[in-house]
A and B are shown apart, each in its own frame.
Chain A
Amino acid sequence: MIKTVKDIEDMTKSELLEHLNDTVKPEVGEIPAYVLADPKVYDLEHKKVFMKTWIFIGHESEIPNKNDYMLRDLAGYSIIVSRNPDSSIKAFYNMCTHRGMKLCRADKGNKSAFVCPYHGFNFKNNGDLIGVPLQKNIYGEELDKSTMGLTEVRIESYKGLLFGTWNDEAESLDDFLGDFKWYLDILVGRAEMEVLGAPQRFVIHSNWKIGADNFVGDSYHTMVTHGSIAKLGMVPSATYSKMGYQIHSENGHGLNLGTPNPDFAFPEELIEEYKSNLSSEQFEVLSNLKNMIGNIFPHLSFLISHTKVKGQLISNTTVRLWRPIDHDKMEVIAWFLVEKNAPEDWKRRSRESFVLTFSPSGIFEQDDTEVFTDITAAAKGPMPVMKNLTYNYTMGLHRKPVDFIGPGVAYDDKFSEANQRNFYKYWLELMNS
């Protein structure tokens, strides 16, 4: 039984941690409601999860040219991600080292140096302080500019996906992604991919974990939440969402792989490019792919979706961040990716299907947002803690993994909550770190 529960507001950090360890029980399929809406859990999460792991900051193709830059958020801190004259990509905290003013306020642009609007300190895009107004006159020889470079952010990339972390001790991105890279190759390594247009951004009054949970393994909801899509004939039937595999790997990553598909979901012109980038096993998965939906821990979700738009089959590939703004609020940032060498008409139709299905106006997306908002509202305040309200995550608990052509732990249809249990297992591990 649960010990008499204090209000979380009155708990010390160690009491909160103890309470989390008592109540978050992914191994038996039980997750308490309060973790989705408690401000103290959110604060701890920020320190233990978002300040510790790799966080997605964008795609390399968003800054293709020398001196291109983009402004991104890394765990609540604004960073400038910039392509240097030597084509390497570097990232810096968007803060002048003299008095702390933000150096840059545009979403993106092309600049080799950033001038602070406060006192005019001038920083090259490799982080070096290169100019101080009236330096000789004011400081004489006393100012050592070499100690005043911008704070560099540790970044690494995998197949064009850029990640950053504030944690100098974090394992390499390669190790963090581990076995999951096999599937990311299919997502973004199958061909040369590029981000088209600016990312879509909108705010939902929802905890970020609901989005991650939804994408990491919840194909069960599609029959009902997205029932309208089957009614309109955009997908074969309401139960199509069960067919395929659910797969997870270490570090909380997971995906659902929809298969088989009688049609090839990608531009056929690029089959040779796919074959040259993928192993034969990966290409086999790609050839039979109906959809692929998953989450890179903690909050980068991705999707390949193959639907019928205006009577014609088309797929789109997207990644999206559930960027936390507060315990009950997140910004969704969604990027559209497409094969650089795809025919122009294919690119246009793929974008059209993304806007129709998974943009803020997307006819899949919008029904999810309604659910996310209401779940968050219902989890708030002291009552769910007092009454120990929990969610049931037992689906597929006693099923045995099957052999699968790719790595990770795989189950032979998508209706399981093993991925969500794996997500929360790693989340709890980090909260204890």
Chain B
Amino acid sequence: MSMEKMLANYEFEQWLYKEAQLLDDIDFDGWFSLMHQDLKYQMPVRINKEGTERPDYTTDMFCFDDDIDLLKLRVDRLKTDYAWAEIPPSRTRRFVSNVKLDDYKEGEFASVNSYLLLYRSRSTDIHHDIISGERRDEFKFENGKWKLSKRVFIVDQTTINTRNLAIFI
């Protein structure tokens, strides 16, 4: 790996760590400011296939299928006093690993794959939920900053074992 790519890989690791912290700190406005206008934010439904044929997720049904406007709507909604699913907010911890830079054009475009392990606990409930999956992200460089322009989250469950996705992935 070239030094340039190594540094870039590090830069995106730090970007993803910062993103995780903003979400875990329930700073949704701060998180939203990391998004690019062209955003596609998708989470396909995972399915059980017979053998090893791929993809084993649907390309026509999603748990999230947002553009920038819909994501904004979700963030705004969480700030109304009626978003009960997150009153009080879940305690979340996002563990990001296996960060791998694929395409990279300095100051322009990057595609980055990473793994996400998301721990969620609510209120006094002793149960916790774990959401595991892979993020396939794309970034565009804008005004000196990398912004997320696409995220496809491949969740590792066909039946999602958390009561809702009132949290972000």
Chain A complexes with chain B: yes
B43 neighbours in A (Cβ, 8 Å): 361
The answer to whether residues A196 and B160 also contact, given A310-B69, A356-B70 and a CB cut-off of 8 A, is no
Which of A203, A228, A309, A352 is in CB contact (< 8 Å) with B83? A228
CB of B63 within 8 A of CB of A205, answer no
Whole-angstrom CA separation of A105 from B163 in the bound complex: 25
CB of A232 within 8 A of CB of B77, answer yes
Chain A 390-415, CB-CB to B under 8 Å as 1, else 0, gives 00000000000000000000000000
CB of B73 within 8 A of CB of A232, answer yes
The answer to whether residues A352 and B164 also contact, given A107-B158, A232-B76 and a CB cut-off of 8 A, is no
Which of B63, B83, B127, B158 is in CB contact (< 8 Å) with A361? B63
CB of A201 within 8 A of CB of B160, answer yes
CB of A361 within 8 A of CB of B70, answer no
The answer to whether residues A355 and B160 also contact, given A232-B73, A363-B77, A366-B166 and a CB cut-off of 8 A, is no
Residue A224 interfacial (CB < 8 Å): yes
Whole-angstrom CA separation of A203 from B66 in the bound complex: 23
- List residues 31-90 of chain B with CB under 8 A from any CB of chain A: 43, 45, 47-50, 58, 60-66, 69-70, 73-74, 76-77, 80-85
Which of B65, B77, B164 is in CB contact (< 8 Å) with A355? B65
Q: Smallest CB–CB gap between B110 and chain A, Å?
A: 26
Q: Smallest CB–CB gap between B71 and chain A, Å?
A: 10
How many residue pairs link A and B with beta carbons under 8 A? The number is 125
Number of residues in B with C-beta < 8 Å to the partner?
36
Which of A198, A227, A309, A369 is in CB contact (< 8 Å) with B61? A198
Give A206's nearest chain B residue, CB to CB. B163
The answer to whether residues A360 and B158 also contact, given A105-B48, A196-B60 and a CB cut-off of 8 A, is no
Give B76's nearest chain A residue, CB to CB. A232
B97 neighbours in A (Cβ, 8 Å): none
Whole-angstrom CA separation of A203 from B163 in the bound complex: 6
CB of A109 within 8 A of CB of B45, answer no
CB of A361 within 8 A of CB of B45, answer no
Which of B65, B73, B83 is in CB contact (< 8 Å) with A351? B65
Give A195's nearest chain B residue, CB to CB. B61
Which of A106, A309, A371 is in CB contact (< 8 Å) with B48? A106
Chain A 96-130, CB-CB to B under 8 Å as 1, else 0, gives 00000000011111010000000000000000000
CB of B61 within 8 A of CB of A231, answer no
- List residues 254-289 of chain A with CB under 8 A from any CB of chain B: none
CB of B45 within 8 A of CB of A198, answer yes
Residue B14 interfacial (CB < 8 Å): no
Whole-angstrom CA separation of A359 from B70 in the bound complex: 14
CB of B50 within 8 A of CB of A106, answer yes
B61 neighbours in A (Cβ, 8 Å): 196-200, 336, 351, 355
B contacts, CB < 8 Å to A: 43, 45, 47-50, 58, 60-66, 69-70, 73-74, 76-77, 80-85, 127, 158-166
The 10 listed contacts between A and B (C-beta, < 8 Å) are A107-B158, A197-B60, A201-B45, A203-B160, A203-B163, A204-B164, A359-B63, A361-B64, A370-B164, A371-B84
Kindly list the 4 A-B residue pairs having the minimum CB-CB distance in the complex, ordered from nearest: A197-B61, A227-B82, A366-B164, A361-B165
